[in-house]
Each structure stands twice: as structure tokens, then as C-alpha cells.
């Protein structure tokens, strides 16, 4: 028996996806501020502190839950969408950049999933969106996500978003995996997460892959992305601000023409 609201959903699109959530009467979805796309009539939208679930200690509880969201780089506020009509209604939420939306059934995932700070998109009402501290100093300093990550707790559906293609990998007990620190999207609470120094002078100085790997040891599930938003932003910034070394020469002009930049 679920304690969180039980919602149906459908994901549309390939590169720029959106998720359509179907709400029965009096069911509620919560969403990250700015992710709303469209909704049917008789859905009531309300902006709230924190993650939308009723706190146990009144206003101070709301303020504390909202403050925790600031630590993960999110807004103080979230938005709830409640079906106040008689029949089924739909509300849709869009991904903020090219990538994939991943549905997570927390009931089937042990009640808790830890994810990168800006991954959360929307969820069923009752899912707790909080913070997860990395207890190891090295993991917090060099793990790519810092000391603070997001956690989603409950037994309802939650949806996260990440850049590029996202795939799920099931780690068997004791199975070990190294990945780029920025490519880790989420993992279940049974997975042991740490960091490892790349090693080797040439790898460190000229490898171009950073100084550390993220290491994951099973059992549990992990979700990995092919294009972290930081990597995409870095490439766009580099392309927009860096001039060709041969710019001004004939070769530079030809290169710009081939790129579509003109002379």
C-alpha cells in the first residue's frame, strides 16, 4: 500500500522530452519551479515552501525544508498541482535542456534514491525531496557533485532529468564500476559511492578527463548520463569565445566558411 499519491504518467519526445502526469480527483503532483508546461482545466496550482508535503512542525518546518533546497542550488519554492475536478486530469512538465526524463518508482527502489543536485523534475505528492550529505571528505571535495546531493524518499513516482542519453545499470553484489564524476545521475541507497584518483603523471596532466573517477560498488541500480550539462556549457562557451589560431589567414577563413561562420 502506497502512502504517497499514486499517479499515472506518459513520457513524450526524444531529445527534448516532457512527462504528462494523470491525476485522479484530489491527487496532487509536485514539481520544480519553472518545469511546468501545460495542464487541463480544474487543476489548481499552488506555490509552496519546501517539497510540498505537510511538515510536522508548522512554519519552522516549512522554512527548514525550503532552506535545505537552497543548499542543492534549487529555488525556495515548489509548485503543487491538484486535480479539483470530478474526472481524470493531466498536467505536463518539460525538461530544461536536451536529455532524458527518467521515471523512478521509489516503492520498487527501496524507498530512497540519491541524485545530482539539479536532477529533480516532478513527483507524486508525499515524496520527500531533501539533501544528502557526502560523509567522506574526499568524495565531497572531488566527487563532482560536492558535499551535497539531492535525495528522494517515499513510495511514489518521481521523475529526474539529465543531459544526453541516460541508461540504467544494475550492479551485482561486489560489482565495481568507475565513471566520470559528472556522468553520475542517480543511484539507490545500497550502492557505495566514492572517488578514486586517476593516477599516472601523463593521465593527470594530459588525459583531459579530470583527476578523479567516481567509483560505485554494488549491489544496486545506477543511472548514468552521456552529456553532463557542465560539459555542454563548457563546449558552448569555448566555441563562442575562442578564436582559431590561424584566424586572419587563408586557412582560417576556409575553416570558418566550412563551419558556416562566413569570413
pLDDT in tens, 39-58: 999 999 998 866 545 544 55
Q: What span, in angstroms and rounded, lies between the C-alpha atoms of 80 and 62? A: 14
Q: Judge if pTM exceeds 0.75.
A: yes
The CATH number fitting domain 8-164, selected from 2.60.40.420, 3.30.930.10, 3.20.20.70, 3.60.160.10: 3.60.160.10
Mean pLDDT of the chain, nearest integer: 79
DSSP state of 183: G
Q: What span, in angstroms and rounded, lies between the C-alpha atoms of 89 and 111? A: 27
Q: What span, in angstroms and rounded, lies between the C-alpha atoms of 136 and 96? A: 31
Bond prior to 109 in cis (omega within 30° of 0): no
Give pLDDT, residue 194: 85
Tens digit of each residue's pLDDT (9 = 90 or more) over 208-254: 455 678 889 999 999 999 988 777 777 777 776 665 554 444 445 54
Evaluate whether 77 touches 66 at the Cβ level (below 8 Å). yes
Residue count of the chain: 263
**Rounded percentage of the chain residues whose pLDDT exceeds 70:** 69
Give pLDDT, residue 146: 47
Among 70-74, 130-134, 217-221, the minimum mean pLDDT is found in 70-74
Instruction: Say which residue, 137 or 101, is predicted with more confidence.
Output: 101
Q: Which range, 94-98, 195-199, 219-223, 254-258, is most confident?
A: 219-223
Instruction: Domain ranges for the chain, please list them.
Output: 8-164
Evaluate whether 224 touches 167 at the Cβ level (below 8 Å). yes
The Cα-based distances of 194 to 73, 88, 141, 201 in angstroms read 22, 44, 11, 22
Give pLDDT, residue 181: 81
Who contacts 66 (Cβ-Cβ below 8 Å, separation ≥6)? Answer: 49, 50, 76, 77
Amino acid at each position: 500500500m502506497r502512502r504517497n499519491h499514486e499517479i499515472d504518467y506518459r513520457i513524450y519526445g526524444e531529445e527534448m522530452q516532457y512527462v504528462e502526469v494523470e491525476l485522479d480527483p484530489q491527487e496532487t503532483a509536485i514539481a520544480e519551479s519553472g518545469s511546468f508546461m501545460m495542464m487541463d482545466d480544474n487543476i489548481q496550482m499552488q506555490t509552496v515552501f519546501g517539497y510540498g508535503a505537510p511538515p510536522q512542525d508548522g512554519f519552522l518546518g516549512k522554512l527548514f525544508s525550503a532552506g535545505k533546497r537552497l543548499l542543492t542550488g534549487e529555488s525556495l519554492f515548489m509548485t503543487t498541482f491538484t486535480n479539483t475536478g470530478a474526472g481524470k486530469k493531466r498536467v505536463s512538465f518539460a525538461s530544461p535542456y536536451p536529455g532524458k526524463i527518467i521515471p523512478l518508482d521509489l516503492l520498487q527502489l527501496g524507498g530512497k534514491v540519491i541524485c545530482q543536485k539539479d536532477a529533480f523534475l516532478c513527483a507524486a505528492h508525499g515524496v520527500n525531496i531533501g539533501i544528502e550529505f557526502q560523509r567522506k571528505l574526499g568524495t565531497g571535495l572531488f566527487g563532482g557533485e560536492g558535499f551535497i546531493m539531492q535525495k528522494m524518499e517515499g513510495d511514489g513516482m518521481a521523475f529526474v532529468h539529465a543531459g544526453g542519453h541516460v541508461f540504467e545499470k544494475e550492479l551485482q553484489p561486489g560489482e565495481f564500476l568507475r565513471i566520470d564524476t559528472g556522468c553520475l545521475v542517480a543511484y539507490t541507497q545500497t550502492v557505495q559511492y566514492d572517488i578514486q584518483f586517476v593516477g599516472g603523471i601523463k593521465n593527470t596532466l594530459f588525459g583531459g578527463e579530470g583527476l578523479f573517477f567516481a567509483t560505485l560498488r554494488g549491489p544496486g541500480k545506477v543511472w548514468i548520463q552521456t552529456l553532463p550539462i557542465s560539459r555542454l556549457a563548457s563546449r558552448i562557451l569555448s566555441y563562442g569565445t575562442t578564436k582559431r589560431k590561424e584566424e586572419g589567414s587563408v586557412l582560417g577563413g576556409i575553416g570558418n566558411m566550412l563551419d558556416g561562420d562566413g569570413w
